Structure 1
Amino acid sequence: MDARARAQELYRLALDNASWCPETLTESRGWSGTELAEALRLLGRLGLFVPSSDNRNGWTALAPDTALRNLLLDEEQHTNALLTAVRQTRSALAQVVADFQPVHARELSSVQMDVVTGVANVSAALEDASQRAEEEVLSLHPGRALPAEMVEAGLERDRLVLGRGIRMRTIHLGSAAAVPHMTAYLRRLNGAGAQVRTAHTLPLRLIVVDRSLAIVPASQTADGEIAAIVLRSETLVGVFRGIFEHCWASAAVLTESATESPEGDWHPTGRHRELVRMLGGGLTDEAMARKLGVSERTVRRLVSELTERLGAASRFQAGVCAVRLGWLDD
C-alpha cells in the first residue's frame, strides 16, 4: 500500500470515527510510525486534516469542498501579501530614482566627448590641450615616423609646454625612433626636459593631459579624413593613464642601446623578440607590420633573419625551435 492509499484509508476512518487513536490504527493496520506520519502530512498538505485540540489524536477531518475553500483562501492571502510587498518595493524604487537620479545625471553630464575631424581641427585640439596642461602630459605614439615638418611643429609646441614647467613623458615605437629625423627630434625633446622612452609595440595613439583630458584616435571619416576624440572625464582619463603607465613600465629609455650576446649564445632582443611573440601568436605579416610600425617587407626580412639564426627551413620550424629554446616562456 502506498502513501496515497494509506491517506485515503486514514481519511475514511477519521470521517467514520473522529476520535480514532493512532496507536490502535498502527496496531490494527500494521503501519509503522513513519507510514502514519506520511499519511498525516499528505492529508494536512491537502487541507483535509487540520490541527484540533478537541480530539485526542490532534486532528479534525474536513469535507473536500471546505478544504478547497480554505486552500484558496490561504493562496489569496499569500497573493495579497506578495502584491503588498511589490507595491512597497515599487514605492521604494521610485524614491531611490527620485533621490539619486539627479546625482547620476550630474555624473554623466560631467563626461564630455567631442569628435574633431580633419588635420587642421585635430592640430587645433592638440594645441588647445597643450595650452590647458598644468601638471603633466603623457603620450603614446604607435605607427611609422611622422613627416619631418610635422615633427618640427610638434617640437616647438612641446618646448613651450616644457618651458612652463609641465612634466612630459612620451613613448615612441623603436622602429620610428630609428628614422634619422625622428632620432634627432627625440634627442632634442629629451634635452629640453622631456622623459622619452621607446617600445617595440604600443596599443594605441594616446595623449593624456593632467588627469581630466585625453585625446584618442577615432575612425576616419567617409572622406578619409583623420579624426580624434577629445574626452574630459576624470574616470575615463584614469583608465587611459593606467594604459600609459603599463606601457611606460616596460619601455626602454632613449639612451639605452640594445646589445646582442655572442653569436654562439644569441637570443632575440628588441624587434626580434617581439617578432617571436607575434609569430607564436599566429599573426600575419600585415598585422605584425602594423604593430611594429614597419613595412611588410621589413617584417619578412626580420623573419628571414630569425629562421636563418635558428637554422630553420620554415616559419613553423622556427616556431618549434623558439619553443624548445624557451623564447616564448616570458
Structure 2
Amino acid sequence: MTTTEVTTLPANGDVSTWTPAEKAIADAAGLVFTHTYGDRQGQREPAPRAVVEKFLALSRQSGLNPLSNQIWCIGRLSKGRVEWAVQTGIDGFRLVADRSEKYAGQDEAEWMTDKGEWVDAFIPKLHGGQPLAARVRVYRSDWDRPAVGVAEWGAYVQTKRDGAPTEMWAKQGAGQLAKCAEALALRKAFPMDLSGLYTSDEIAAAPEQHVEVAGPSRDWSAEIAAAATHEEVEDLLDAADDAGERTEAVRTAAMTRHGMLGEPTQPDEIVVEPEPAAEAPAPDVAPASPADLSDADWLAQAEADVLRNGGQP
C-alpha cells in the first residue's frame, strides 16, 4: 500500500513537547472535549495520552489526514466521564482502498425487504418503512472472490432516548445502512489498513473502544493528607507537577491539608539566657587581735607570720 505520511501530526502523545501548531491540530482533530452543561460547562478536557497515541498510530497506519476530515477523535460524556473513540467517514475508507492499488471496485448496494427479497433500490413506500439489511461486495485484484459486508438494521440503526431512529436514520435509513455494509466489506478486504477504524455511520455497533489509562505513579492525595508541615505539602505538589499528575483532586487535597495545618508557623525565637552573675569575692577578714587568741593559737599565728616574711620575725 502506498501512503502519504501525515507530517502535520505531532510526533508523539507527549503534549509538553508539542508546538502551538501541533496543539491546534490536535484540537481540530477532536482530541479536546468541551463540556456543554453541568458544573463543568465550558471546561475543556484534553484526551489522555493513551488515547492520543492510539489516534496518532491509526492516522499513520491508514494514511488519513485529520485536517481533511478523513479521521477524527470523538469524546462522549458517559456517566460523568469522557469516553473516546477514533472515527472516520466512508470516504476515508474508500481512499485507503484506492491507495492500496489492489482495489478492483464494488457492486452497488442491495437491500433486503420485509419479504426476504434482495432489491437494488429500496423504496420505503414500496418495500416498507426500512430495510431489514443491506449488502455490498468489494473486489480486490488479487482475490478470486469478493469481500461481502452485510449490515442488519437492528444492529446499526442509531436511536434517540425514546428508541426512535435519529433524524438522519429516519430520513435516509437505507443509505445509512448501505454505508455500514460498505464499511464492513472494505474492512474485510483491507484489514491491515482499516483494522480498528469505524465510520461514524456504524459507530453505534462498533466494539467499545476503551483505552486503558495508566493510573498515577503515587497516591498523591494520601501522601498530602499525611504531610506534617506546609513545606511537605508544597514539595508533594511540586513532585506531582513534575510527574504530570497534578490533577484537580491533588490540588484540592493540598488546599484541604493546608487548612488543617493552620497558619504556617514562624521559626522559633532564639532566647538567650543571661549568664549567671559572678559571685562577689568574700570580704577580707581582719586577723584576730592577739589578745583574743589563746597561747597556742598565738604561737601558731606567729610562726605563720615568720614563714610569710621569709623566716624573718
Q: Is this a same-fold pair by TM over 0.5?
A: no
Ranked by relative contact order (alpha carbons within 8 Å, sequence separation 6 or more), the top structure is 1
Calculate the TM-score normalised by the size of structure 2: 0.19
Structure ID, larger Rg: 2
TM-score (norm 1): 0.19
